[in-house]
Amino acid sequence: MNKKDLSLLVLILVVGTVVALINPRFLYVGNLSNTANQIGLFGIFSIAQAFIIIIGGIELSVGSVIALLGVLFIDLIVNHDVNWVVALALIIAAGLAIGLVHGTLVTRMRIQAFVVTLCGLLIYRGAARYYTEDATAGFGFGASFPTLEWLAAGRTNVLGFPLPHSVVALAVVAVIAWVVLHRSVFGRYLFAVGKNEEAARYSGIRTNRVIVSAYVICGGLTAFSAILIAMYTRSISPAVHGSFYELYAIAAAVLGGCSLRGGEGSIIGVVLGTVLLQVLQNLVNLLGIPSSLNFAVMGTVILLGVLGDQYLVQRRQRVGVAKRGEQTSVAAAPLERVKAE
Amino acid sequence: MPEPFLELVDISKSYPGVVALDHVGLQVSPGEVIALIGENGAGKSTLMRVLGGVVEPSGGVIRVDGAARSSLTVADAIKAGIAFVHQELNLFDNLDVAGNVFIGREPVHGGPLRLIDRKRMYADVAPLLERMGCDFAADAPLAELSLAQRQLVEIMKALSLDARLVIMDEPTSSLTLAETDRLMRTVAGLKAHGVSIIFITHRLNEVMQCADRAVVLRDGRVVGALTRAELSPAAMIRLMIGRDLKSLYVPPAAPPGDSVLEIVDAVTDTYPGRAVSLSVRRGEILGLAGLVGSGRTELARAVFGIDRLRGGAIRLDGEPIRIESPRAAIEQGIYLVPEDRKGAGLLLDVSITENISLPDLASYMRFWLVDTARENENAACQRERLKIRAPDVKTAVGSLSGGNQQKVVLAKWLSMQPKVLIVDEPTRGVDVGAKQEIYGMLRRLTDAGVAILMISSDMEEVIGVSDRLAVMHEGAISGFLDRSQFSEHNVLQLAVGHTIAAEAP
Ligand SMILES: Nc1ncnc2c1ncn2[C@@H]1O[C@H](COP(=O)(O)OP(=O)(O)OP(=O)(O)O)[C@@H](O)[C@H]1O
Ligand SMILES: [Mg+2]
């Protein structure tokens, strides 16, 4: 855990304590369990987003993909009687395919990621609405998939706490992503490509392949979270389902220390960023703040968080320069050097 | 000598784990040319950054025209008439020459509209262009200028600010011989106008050519100063590294073997109408000389798979091979140490360790994960071998001095097992002692059977280190030279496209 993650954790604890003091219902088991569920659902596609941001790209179509794949998943199992295991595999495959297309457009056709995924955002949303003729897709009365429902949206009692399975899923995804990003050779390649694609290419890294892989991973994880979210909401109105989710993901990643310039980020940070966003969401509900202010509150806190972080970095630098020979963070030194050049 | 107008007294600067400057003193009088020399990481750039107002010293006094202060800001420095021509030029590609000279100070007209008065701008630049003897116009887009010409633009910018002192940090490290000559003439011209110059260089013949005195730094301290009369390469080297150096050339242990890398009629995009053929033999260093822009880097890029070849073939050990990506080249055992270390060679805010292991990560892999212990071990060993000056191998390469960054780029490739090593300007910005070290290493590689193609614009290096020379001119080889034919004259003749009398095949 680096310093940034630590300060984010402190921020979460402070916000949590304040909310709990004002409204003790924050700490009710039911409320905590529901918040945890939200964290599980949002965390997975935020991690997906982090993979893209780390290579210096951006993925704006997350929300639309969640809507389209959610609709398709429900349609497959409800209307076409496809076995849910098969349906799950098909949907994940579709997510991977979307990632492959995005990655290929970005690398081979040299279109900017922002543009590719912005088009994706529009196309998938439109496709979802057209496919359902703008009607809500959902499970009819009586339709039931007990195993799937239990797996995806159930809760297991752990020491008296109803632990949502989405949290378990997030934990598994986060651990794997952490190992991949921070310990594996492939992770090194991802960071290297994000930092300096040219230098990575000169080092013999197949940069295009690395970039496409990142989009494919992102697509797969997003598809996975689309299924969990569909099973949780149980009904999907394609016009609004998942809208703005890409922004939640980007916000979580940025809060968690990812730089939109690429080459920086930590999985722990992204998870903590998701936690903070959901606690804030909860804060708005519990403190009786008009829910129309929801986004405004989140935007303000993100801005403050980033400003505070910037302030700390600069202060650390000044202190480091003033005190002879004192060890400062590795990241601070080159910053100064770059400015000096 | 007139009174000094600028005085540095006891200037110190420390960074975490490094004392970059340790009570350094320096005086500058009008119209004198001071060469600042020293090993990589000696503190030369840091000292100049203090003067330019970009680095705040941790101690000491700066006296400008008698007024003492503890540090300068960039604005103070400009007001005091100190102009800093940065190693990485601070120019705008999308503006023309005049626009760059007057950036931020454009003459305006049109009242509140504050339109740029282009006429006056061009009129103001014209005399500067003439004074510098520039061969480009005031409205030439910067993007079309060569590196040397861009440097002149930077200097003009300094002069338009009425600079009394122009600081140049390794101005010649990426210039060709002819361009260096012209810069030396510019320096002499400035001196004649009473402008003082401090320049940092690792090329001692430039110091001999134009410096009034040389100040030598070592480990952040001034270890000596040489007056014009005392200047000699040997004296400078002794002060810089504290010992004498042997001659550059070390003959190979065994005569060269068969051709390893053969380039047959290779055509690159820059010179579509011209083909290059050459071959590098096992155990030799083939120098590739030529003017900047003669197509040497493009050839290297194509052989390494960065660009596609337009035509021709590449053979390795006699077998034709296809190289479509750097990965493929590396798999075949062909490595390239690129020219542009910041853009293509390094990840600046990443540690030395991770930079060194990057091309060879697969070999540090255990169950898909990186074996960081072994990685660090190897980096530490490379750091020892190349004498990379850094607090430890976890240091971000961006905070190293220029020459030490270059050593990290070399270290990336030297820890692997090449068949063919292409080095493009391998010692740019590297000090004399470390150069020797690097040449020694190249020789050890060839003695172990590696074929080396060394692209270099440093005449001393091409002539002093190569076993054989190929000279390029405008995208084609204009001739080969054997050691017996090596001379500055012959290389230059070929580089400008002439032929020489007894040319070897
Ligand atoms: N921003 C920084 N942070 C940490 N260390 C620094 C920074 N800038 C310089 N240093 C250290 O200070 C020392 C002096 O560096 P400097 O760049 O002045 O060397 P130099 O004499 O210009 O060397 P070169 O010939 O290689 O350019 C080096 O050890 C370098 O690593
Ligand atoms: Mg320097």
Q: What is the DSSP string of A62-116?
A: HHHHHHHHHHHHHIIIIIS---HHHHHHHHHHHHHHHHHHHHHHHHTS---HHHH
Q: Which residue has the higher pLDDT, A291 or A326?
A: A291
% pLDDT > 90, chain B? 38
Pick from B343, B429, B340, B357: nearest CA to B39: B429
Please determine, for residue B248, whether its predicted confidence score (pLDDT) is greater than 80: no
Task: Give the pLDDT score at A329.
Answer: 33
Residue B189: name the closest of B210, B215, B167, B207 by CA.
Answer: B210
Residues A316 and A271 in one domain: no
Q: Please tell me which residue of chain B has the smallest CA distance to A206.
A: B327
Out of A286-300, A303-317, B258-272, pick the least confident.
A303-317
Q: How many CA atoms lie within 13 A of B414 on its CB side?
A: 26
E strands, B243-361, where? 259-267, 276-281, 285-290, 311-316, 319-321, 334-337
Q: How far apart are CA A323 and CA A333, in angstroms?
A: 14
Q: What is the structure's pLDDT at A330?
A: 34
In eight-state DSSP terms, residue B276 is: E
Q: How far is CA B8 from CA A14, A217, B23, B63, B156, in A?
A: 50, 57, 9, 6, 26
List, for residues A87-96, the tens digit of each pLDDT value. Answer: 999 999 999 9
pLDDT tens digits, residue range B32-60? 999 999 988 899 999 999 998 889 999 99
Residue B176's pLDDT band, with cuts at 50, 70 and 90, is confident
Going from the Cα of B53 to the center of ligand 2, the distance in angstroms, rounded, reads: 16
Quick one: pLDDT band at residue A141, thresholds 50, 70, 90? low
Q: CATH: 3.40.50.620, 3.30.420.40, 2.10.77.10, 3.40.50.300. Which one for B6-240?
A: 3.40.50.300
Give the closest ligand to the alpha carbon of residue A328: 1
Helix axes A267-286, A294-322, angle to 10 degrees: 140
Are A198 and A331 within one domain?
A: no
User: Is the pLDDT higher at A117 or at B106?
Assistant: A117
With bands split at pLDDT 50, 70 and 90, how would you rate the model's confidence at B505? very low
* pLDDT for position B241: 80
Contact A202 B325 (CB under 8 A): no
Query: Which pLDDT band, with edges at 50, 70 and 90, does A50 fall under?
Result: very high
The pLDDT of residue A334: 36
Task: Record the tokens describing residue B162, joined without a space.
Answer: 């009425």
| Residue having the nearest C-alpha atom to atom 8 of ligand 1 | B399
Q: pLDDT tens-digit profile of B249-279?
A: 778 888 888 899 999 998 888 888 888 999 9
A291 C-beta neighbours (distance < 10 Å), count = 11
- Check residue A143 and give its pLDDT: 65
pLDDT for res A317: 62
Q: How confident is the model at residue A331 (pLDDT cuts 50, 70, 90)?
A: very low
Polymer length of chain B: 505
User: Does the pLDDT value for residue B344 go beyond 50?
Assistant: yes
pLDDT given at position A121: 96
Tell me, yes or no, whether A261 and A322 share the same domain: no
Rounded-to-10 torsion of CA B140, B141, B144, B150: 80
| A10 vs B494: CA distance, rounded Å | 68
Q: Which of B341, B401, B408, B410 to mutate to test the pocket of ligand 1 (most atoms within 8 A of CB)?
A: B401
pLDDT band at B333 (very low <50, low <70, confident <90, very high): very high
How close, in Å, is residue B241 to chain A by CA atoms?
25
> Are residues A285 and A298 both part of a single domain?
no
Ion ligand 2 residues within 5 Å by Cβ = B 45, 402
Q: What is the pLDDT of residue A316?
A: 64
Section B453-478 average pLDDT? 90
Over residues B302-310, mean pLDDT = 90
pLDDT value of residue B1: 62
pLDDT at A214 > cutoff 70 = yes
Instruction: Supply the pLDDT for residue B468.
Output: 94
Contact between B453 and B300 under an 8 Å Cβ cutoff? The reply is: yes
Residues in chain B within 8 Å Cβ distance of A189? 361
Q: A47: closest CA among A243, A150, A234, A182?
A: A182
In a mutational test of the B interface, the residue from A183, A202, A318 whose CB has the highest number of chain B CBs within 10 Å is: A202
- Neighbouring-strand partners of residue B470: B288, B480
Across the range A272-278, mean pLDDT stands at: 94
Interface residue A326 vs chain B (CB under 8 A) = yes
| Closest protein CA for atom 7 of ligand 1 | B399
Query: To the nearest whole percent, how much of chain B has pLDDT over 70?
Result: 97
Of B58, B365, B399, the CB nearest to A334: B399
Which of B356, B365, B399 would best serve as a mutation to test chain A binding (most A beta carbons within 10 A)? B399
Position B339 confidence tier, pLDDT thresholds 50, 70, 90? confident
Instruction: Using alpha carbons, list the distances in angstroms from residue B322 to A198, B271, B332, B335.
Output: 21, 21, 10, 15
DSSP result, A150-178: HHHH-EEEETTEEEEHHHHHHHHHHHHHH
What average pLDDT score do residues B12-20 get?
89
Q: Kind and range of the H or E element at B405?
A: helix B402-414
Mean pLDDT of the A138-155 span: 82
Distance from CA of B179 to the nearest CA of A (A): 24
pLDDT at B502 over 80: no
| Position A3 pLDDT exceeds 90 | no
Preferred mutation among A182, A203, A326, A336 to probe B, highest tally of B CBs within 10 A: A203
CA distance A216 to A300: 33
List, in sequence order, every beta strand (DSSP E) within B1-70.
6-15, 18-28, 33-38, 59-64, 67-69
Q: Which helix (H) or strand (E) holds B213?
A: strand B213-218
- pLDDT of B374 reads 92
Query: Are the beta carbons of A196 and B347 separated by less than 8 Å?
Result: yes
∠ CA A109-A113-A119, nearest 5°, is 90
Residues A273 and A311 in one domain: no
Q: Is A195 on the interface with B (CB under 8 A)?
A: yes
How many whole angstroms separate alpha carbon B52 and alpha carbon B57? Answer: 11
Say whether B457 sits in a helix, a strand or coil.
coil
pLDDT confidence tier of residue B18, bands split at 50, 70 and 90: confident
Provide, as residue numbers in chain A, all residues whose Cβ is less than 8 Å from the Cβ of B351. Answer: 330
What is the rounded CA–CA span in Å between residue B55 and residue B396? 19
pLDDT number for residue B75: 87
Residue ID of nearest Cα to ligand 1 atom 16: B43
Give residue-wise pLDDT tens across range B67-83: 999 998 888 898 899 98
Chain mean pLDDT for chain A: 88
DSSP string, A242-295: TTTHHHHHHHHHHHTT--TTSS---HHHHHHHHHHHHHHHHHHHHTT--GGGHH
In this predicted structure, which of A319-328, B204-213, B369-378 has the lowest mean pLDDT? Answer: A319-328
Q: Report pLDDT for A228.
A: 96
Chain segment A116-133, per-residue pLDDT in tens: 999 999 999 999 999 999
The answer to whether residue A81 neighbours chain B at the CB level (below 8 Å) is no
Residue A322 has a pLDDT of: 44
All residues of chain B having their beta carbon less than 8 Å from the beta carbon of residue A263 are: 347, 349
pLDDT at B237 over 80: yes
For residue B221, give the ligand nearest its CA.
Answer: 1
What's the whole-number mean pLDDT along residues A61-89? 94
Q: Which CATH number fits domain B259-350+418-503: 2.40.30.130, 1.10.1840.10, 3.40.50.300, 3.30.479.30?
A: 3.40.50.300
pLDDT score for B381:
92
Tell me: pLDDT of A200 over 90. Answer: yes
Domain count, chain A: 2
ipTM: 0.81
Query: Which of B48, B357, B369 would you mutate first to test chain A, the one with the most A CBs within 10 A?
Result: B369
- Position A221 pLDDT exceeds 50: yes
Give the pocket of ligand 1 (CB within 6 Å).
A 333, 336-337; B 15, 18, 20, 38, 40-46, 389, 399-404, 429, 431
- Kindly determine whether residue A337 and residue B398, on different chains, have CB atoms separated by under 8 Å: yes
At B192 the three-state DSSP class reads helix
Locate the DSSP E strands across B413-487: 420-424, 451-455, 468-473, 476-482
Tell me the pLDDT band of B121, cut-offs 50, 70 and 90: confident
Between A and B, how many residue pairs show a Cβ–Cβ distance under 8 A? 110
Q: A331 — contact with chain B (CB < 8 Å)?
A: yes
Whether the CB-CB separation of B200 and B48 falls below 8 Å is answered with yes
Q: How many CB atoms lie within 10 A of CB B36?
A: 25
Q: Could you read off the pLDDT of B405-414 as tens digits, one per residue?
A: 999 998 998 8
* Burial (Cβ within 10 Å: 0-12, 13-18, ≥19) of residue A52: buried
Residues 6+ away with beta carbon under 8 Å from A144: none
Q: What is the mean pLDDT of residues B348-364?
A: 92
- Measured between beta carbons, the chain B residues lying within 8 angstroms of A200 are 347, 358
Instruction: Say whether B343 and A199 touch across the interface (CB within 8 A).
Output: yes
For the cut 60, the answer to whether the pLDDT of residue A180 exceeds it is yes
- The mean pLDDT value for B94-107 works out to 86
Mean pLDDT to the nearest integer, B325-353: 91
Question: Is the pLDDT assigned to residue B500 strictly greater than 80?
Answer: no
Nearest to A184 among B358, B368, B398 (CB): B368
Ligand 1 centroid–CA B169 distance in Å is 13
Domain identity same for A255 and A303 = no
Side-chain-side CA neighbours of residue B175 (13 Å): 23
Q: Are residues A139 and A200 in the same domain?
A: yes
Give the residue whose CA is nearest to atom 27 of ligand 1: B402
Predicted confidence band at A203 (pLDDT cuts at 50, 70, 90)? very high
List residues bridging with A327 in a β-sheet: none
Q: What is the CATH number of the domain that holds A68?
A: 1.10.3470
Q: Where are the domains of chain B?
A: 6-240, 259-350+418-503
Identity (one letter) of the amino acid at A88? L
Q: Which ligand minimizes its atom distance to the CA of B86?
A: 2
| Those residues with Cβ within 8 angstroms of residue B335's Cβ, 6 or more apart along the chain or in another chain | B304, B329, B359, B413, B416, B418, B420, B421, B422
Exposure letters B240-249 (e unless 16+ CB within 10 A, then b) = bbeeeeeeee
Matching fold, domains B6-240 and B259-350+418-503: yes
pLDDT band of residue A253 (cuts 50, 70, 90) is: very high
- For residue A76, CA distances in Å to A79, A88, B65, B88 come to 6, 9, 84, 59
Task: Report the 10 Å Cβ neighbour count for B218.
Answer: 18
A63 and A112 assigned to the same domain? yes
Domain that holds residue A326: 292-341
- Over the Cα atoms of chain A, what is R_g? 21
Same domain, A167 and A298: no
